[in-house]
């Protein structure tokens, strides 16, 4: 791998959603030149306050730097950006590093890394945890898999985006730990929803229940996020989009079944989140699984 980037603090960025745009803004504030490509020009109009340097094509993006970042929704999106005609694999310069902040199927990562390595491109799977709030605050937890030497080169950049940053092993290791992260988060969320519904059925006031849970051993960051939504009836702005958690948990559940693993809490959580997304509004907080749990209480 070529250890010298043509412009030491230039990065190419694809994926300017709620999290990606916040991450790109931090890099701009840290003195990076952030080249960016998006399918629609309206993306840049909405982010006019961030000094991004819009690129007309993936080819142009790759011509300007050997450090590239992705933050998109799913495995298919990543594979398309990388391997389609005119994609990153075709145009990235030899010696490039692609750091992928997306949450995707761990089983796909080894093949992605192998294909890119054959083109002298290093691929670091580096999913993040902390949501849009963590991205805005630059306090993300970041778990990276891939070549250690490549990781060491991008670590200074990652420190502008996250608080807890770890190289956790070979390609796919980052996604494996992110899968465990999503399992722990969403299973805990369903447990909170069930406990709150049980207390409600006993005639308890939810605001009091939340106060006492937060003061006791069940206290957690998940409770601090989800509990107020449940108490207020989901009138506050969405914190974390349900469809993203549902996608992640379903992906992990399907992968576990392929491995012959029996993980009943994971499988039930995936079912409940699937139901939430299918029957709920397009934009909704994952904590709204409270309503799905309530519907099933007397089924």
Average pLDDT by stretches of 10, the chain with 299 residues: 58 97 98 96 94 98 97 97 98 98 96 98 98 96 98 97 98 98 98 98 98 98 97 92 96 97 99 97 95 93
What pLDDT does 298 receive? 86
Q: What is the CATH number of domain 177-296?
A: 1.10.1040.10
Q: What is the model's pTM?
A: 0.92
What pLDDT does 275 receive? 98
Positions of CATH 1.10.1040.10 in the chain: 177-296
Q: How far is CA 207 from CA 37, 39, 200, in A?
A: 45, 44, 10
What pLDDT does 8 receive? 62
Q: Is the dihedral of CA 84, 87, 92, 97 positive or negative?
A: negative
Positions of CATH 3.40.50.720 in the chain: 10-170
Tell me the CATH architecture of domain 10-170: 3-Layer(aba) Sandwich (3.40)
Q: Is the dihedral of CA 169, 243, 81, 47 positive or negative?
A: negative
């Amino acid at each position: 791998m070529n250890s010298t980037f043509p412009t030491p603090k230039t990065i190419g960025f694809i994926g300017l959603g709620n999290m990606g745009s916040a991450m790109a803004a931090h890099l701009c504030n840290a003195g990076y030149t952030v080249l960016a490509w998006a399918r629609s020009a309206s993306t840049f109009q909405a982010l006019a306050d961030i000094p991004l340097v819009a690129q007309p094509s993936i080819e142009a993006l790759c011509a300007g730097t050997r450090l590239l970042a992705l933050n998109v929704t799913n495995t298919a999106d990543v594979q398309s950006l990388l391997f389609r005609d005119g994609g990153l694999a075709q145009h990235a310069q030899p010696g490039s590093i692609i750091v992928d902040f997306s949450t995707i199927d761990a089983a796909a990562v080894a093949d992605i890394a192998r294909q890119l390595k054959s083109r002298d491109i290093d691929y670091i799977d580096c999913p993040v945890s902390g949501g849009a709030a963590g991205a805005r605050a630059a306090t993300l937890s970041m778990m990276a898999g891939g070549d250690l030497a490549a990781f060491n080169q991008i670590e200074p950049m990652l420190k502008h985006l996250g608080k807890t940053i770890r190289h956790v092993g070979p390609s796919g290791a980052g996604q494996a730990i992110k899968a465990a992260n999503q399992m722990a988060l969403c299973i805990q969320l369903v447990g909170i929803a069930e406990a709150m519904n049980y207390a409600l059925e006993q005639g308890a006031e939810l605001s009091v229940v939340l106060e006492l849970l937060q003061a006791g051993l069940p206290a957690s960051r998940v409770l601090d996020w989800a509990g107020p939504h449940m108490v207020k009836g989901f009138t506050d702005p969405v914190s974390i989009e349900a469809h993203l958690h549902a996608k992640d948990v379903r992906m992990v559940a399907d992968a576990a079944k392929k491995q012959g693993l029996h993980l009943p809490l994971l499988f039930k959580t995936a079912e409940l989140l699937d139901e939430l997304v299918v029957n709920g509004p397009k934009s909704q907080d994952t904590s709204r699984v409270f309503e799905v749990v309530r519907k099933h209480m007397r089924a």
